Amino acid sequence: MKEVQVCEGCYQAILTQPYDSKELEYQRMNPIPAKRRRKLPAKSSATRRTPETHFDHLQKLTTTLRGNLEKCATEPHVDPVHDLRTGTRRVQAMVEALMRERGNETPFQETAAKWLGYLKKLRRAAAPVRDLGVHRKLLEKLVKLPKSKADASANASPETNPEAGQEAITDANAPPSLVNEPQIALPLSDVEQQADHLDAWLQHARQHQAATLRKKAAKWLPKFDAEAAALESAIHETHRTRRRAQSAAGIALESFVRLAHEMQQLDAGNLHDFRKGAKKARYIAESAAEDAHALAIGKALKKLQDEIGDWHDWLVLGDEARAALGDEGKALIAMIDRERDQHYVSSMKTVTRMRGRLMGEWMATTAQPRRRNISTSPEKILGA
């Protein structure tokens, strides 16, 4: 049995953390496996992201974000709206990482804070458009509804489908098919009628929010270029204060541990905020496309984020159903509430499991000058 060095801080953390000590010890001894993990030279750039590579990645994200903003200024379809919203989070995560590296340099911090405020405006404008579209899909999954007339007409319009006009003429001249196209629709159940009314409400709300987003996106494009240029200039004029750049995996784990410490007790009131914090850590981990360890951490964080996100979508859909249907939607609302409760239980289980796993990974990878001897196998600590 060989002896390895374990930092004093990690040892004390195991004793003081408010989680299950046995679970934490197990996670420390069995960190997240990285696919085809291999030992790299100490100065390899594969795991150490320099300020330049951070900046290069930020530039790519910013360019993609601007492209989606431009698309939303023309027509806010589902994909560009979703990418605009998530893109602001990805850029925010990288900017905040740069802010930590550069310490308290006032000019850069002020410019970065202004840029983050601008990103927040973009995200808030895209959020309701994205959410309403997702909630319509959830409703369709819960209650199988026939395609709405509004959707059918939109898909068959000459603007979106050049062949739609000719097909409409052909269909009008053709004799009706009583087998394939019955003239009398089957009656809908109470739940189906409630779902149909809610779907129409959601569709109308999305159209209204999309029109607002389109106007704002067109107005914000010039400002986007100015703010992005100001941030780029501030980055070049400042220097990071840390002695060496941290790996993306280290930054992501550090961000998550800070989040877990600040929000130790989770419930329905703060679970969504916990998700947003975990999302930032995930985007930092995913920025290192060449680091298998960081990608493994990002995958674990995505699992946590998706589970909480599903619960929150059902939660908001229930609120929308109450606003749209009132007492007339009791049957449908009860179904939505059951889905919400089931996803809440599932998300809390996932959070407990992933939080212990990531905390154990952080304890296994953190190193401090002061060390303490513990007789254990190094292969177990390294996950070999």
Please tell me whether residues 327 and 357 are part of one structural domain: yes
Residue type, 130: R
* Residue 293 is assigned to a structural domain of this protein: yes
* Residue 258 is assigned to a structural domain of this protein: yes
* Residue 340 is assigned to a structural domain of this protein: yes
* Residue 251 is assigned to a structural domain of this protein: yes
Distance CA 204, CA 215 (A): 17
Cα Dmax for the chain = 87
Name the residue among 314, 359, 375, 377 with its Cα closest to residue 10: 359
* Residue 156 is assigned to a structural domain of this protein: no
Tokens of 184: 């009398």
Q: Are 364 and 381 in contact (CB under 8 A)?
A: yes
If you write DSSP's letter for every residue of 101-154 in order, what string do you get?
HTTT-HHHHHHHHHHHHHHHHHHHHHHHHHHHHHHHHHHHHHS--PPPHHHHHH
Q: Are 289 and 333 in contact (CB under 8 A)?
A: no
pLDDT at 189: 86
Distance CA 150, CA 132 (A): 16
Please tell me whether residues 218 and 252 are part of one structural domain: no
Please tell me whether residues 71 and 219 are part of one structural domain: yes
Distance CA 205, CA 196 (A): 14
Please tell me whether residues 209 and 309 are part of one structural domain: no
Please tell me whether residues 101 and 207 are part of one structural domain: yes
Please tell me whether residues 234 and 250 are part of one structural domain: no
Distance CA 364, CA 361 (A): 5
In the chain, which residue ranges form alpha helices assigned H by DSSP? Answer: 8-16, 21-29, 51-74, 78-101, 106-142, 149-155, 164-173, 190-237, 248-262, 271-286, 292-325, 330-365, 378-382
Distances (CA, A) of 133 to 66, 161, 262, 324: 22, 21, 33, 16
pLDDT at 77: 94
pLDDT at 160: 40
Please tell me whether residues 217 and 88 are part of one structural domain: yes
Q: Are strands 371-375 and 3-7 parallel, antiparallel or unpaired?
A: antiparallel
pTM summary value = 0.70
pLDDT at 96: 86
Total number of domains in the chain = 2
Half-sphere exposure of 86 (CA within 13 A, CB side): 14
* Residue 173 is assigned to a structural domain of this protein: no
Please tell me whether residues 240 and 384 are part of one structural domain: no
Q: Which residue has tokens 């998550």?
A: 256
Please tell me whether residues 136 and 199 are part of one structural domain: yes
What dihedral do alpha carbons 38, 43, 48, 50 form, nearest 10°? -160
Domain that holds residue 133: 50-146+190-245
Residue 169 neighbours by CB under 8 Å, 6+ apart: none
Tokens of 142: 């819960």
Last residue of a domain, one of 200, 223, 245: 245
* Residue 42 is assigned to a structural domain of this protein: no
Last residue of a domain, one of 180, 214, 245: 245
Please tell me whether residues 366 and 228 are part of one structural domain: no
Please tell me whether residues 201 and 345 are part of one structural domain: no
Last residue of a domain, one of 245, 274, 289: 245
CATH number at residue 65: 1.40.20.10
Q: Tell me the pLDDT of the chain (384 aa) as tens digits.
A: 444 444 544 434 433 444 454 555 555 555 555 544 444 344 444 444 444 467 788 899 999 999 999 999 999 999 999 999 999 999 998 888 888 777 766 788 889 999 999 999 999 999 999 999 999 999 999 997 555 444 543 444 444 444 444 444 444 455 544 445 444 445 578 899 999 999 999 999 999 999 999 999 999 999 999 999 999 888 888 765 554 567 888 889 999 999 999 999 999 999 999 999 999 999 989 888 788 898 999 999 999 999 999 999 999 999 999 999 999 999 999 999 999 999 999 999 999 999 999 998 888 887 554 444 433 333 333 333
CA 210 to chain centre: 21
Please tell me whether residues 16 and 66 are part of one structural domain: no
* Residue 181 is assigned to a structural domain of this protein: no
